[in-house]
């Protein structure tokens, strides 16, 4: 069992319902022969969810939350050797299984990948909060926000405030209306 910090803020169902992977995460044809019965996994996570949101045969950006193409294709993932043979569809398959209790030899590697991508100091989480701070625009960088969704992370005000404090930035809503000094809440 991994001792690494892993705290995605979206469940697998929330990821799919919000719109991710162009609707084809589990519908894409893969090269590997899989002897895993996905029925239980789908029933556990996607009961009541339209299958076109995860079983499509073709990537459709309009099915994504931010209506943009985001992420690399399956062949790229394979070339990078990011998939474990027990999870031939990749990280999100691993996450689905992890979230229903499976513990696996690949847990530490997958959690580290998540941390590097969107953990508290992850490169894409850091980048999106920096852009929000610079612009004040929460809809900025839809491709980055879509990619974060693929990794079960939703940009949010609480984590933004934490990012601001960790980086000695004052969020605009924390400025006093007089004098431009940070409000008392900034120092708490």
The tens digit of pLDDT for each residue in 12-70 reads: 999 999 999 999 999 877 777 677 888 889 999 999 999 999 999 999 999 999 999 99
Instruction: Enter the DSSP assignment of 187.
Output: G
**Separation CA 93–CA 32 (nearest Å):** 14
The sign of the dihedral angle between the CA atoms of 50, 106, 100, 163 is negative
159/165 Cα distance (integer angstroms): 10
Owner of token pair 């474990």: 84
Residue 130 pLDDT > 80: yes
Q: What's the half-sphere exposure (Cβ side, CA atoms, 13 Å) at 130? A: 10
pTM confidence score: 0.87
Phi-psi region of 152 (alpha: psi -120 to 50; beta: other; left: phi over 0): left
Other CB atoms within 10 Å distance of the CB of residue 59: 19
Q: How far apart are CA 115 and CA 107, in angstroms?
A: 12
Q: In the chain, pLDDT over 90 holds for what percent of residues?
A: 72
186 has a pLDDT exceeding 60 = no
**Mean pLDDT, residues 96-111:** 96
Q: What pLDDT is attached to residue 108? A: 97
Reported as a pLDDT band with limits 50, 70 and 90, residue 72 is confident
| Alpha helical stretches, state H, the chain | 12-18, 38-46, 74-79, 91-99, 107-118, 123-135, 142-150, 157-166
């Amino acid at each position: 069992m991994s001792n690494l910090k892993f705290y995605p803020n979206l469940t697998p169902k929330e990821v799919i319902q919000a719109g991710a992977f162009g609707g084809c995460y589990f519908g894409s044809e893969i090269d590997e022969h899989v002897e895993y019965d996905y029925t239980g996994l789908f029933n556990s996570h996607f009961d009541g969810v339209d299958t076109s949101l995860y079983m499509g045969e073709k990537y459709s950006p309009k099915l994504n939350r931010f209506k943009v193409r985001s992420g690399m294709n399956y062949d790229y993932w394979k070339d990078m050797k990011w998939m474990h043979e027990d999870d031939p569809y990749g990280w999100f398959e691993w996450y689905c299984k992890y979230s229903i209790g499976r513990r696996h030899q690949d847990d530490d590697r997958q959690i580290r990948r998540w941390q590097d991508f969107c953990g508290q100091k992850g490169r894409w989480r850091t980048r999106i909060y920096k852009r929000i701070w610079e612009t004040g625009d929460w809809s900025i960088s839809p491709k980055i926000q879509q990619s974060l969704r693929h990794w079960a992370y939703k940009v949010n005000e609480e984590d933004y405030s934490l990012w601001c404090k960790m980086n000695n930035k004052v969020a605009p809503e924390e400025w006093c209306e007089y004098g431009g000094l940070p409000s008392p809440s900034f120092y708490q």
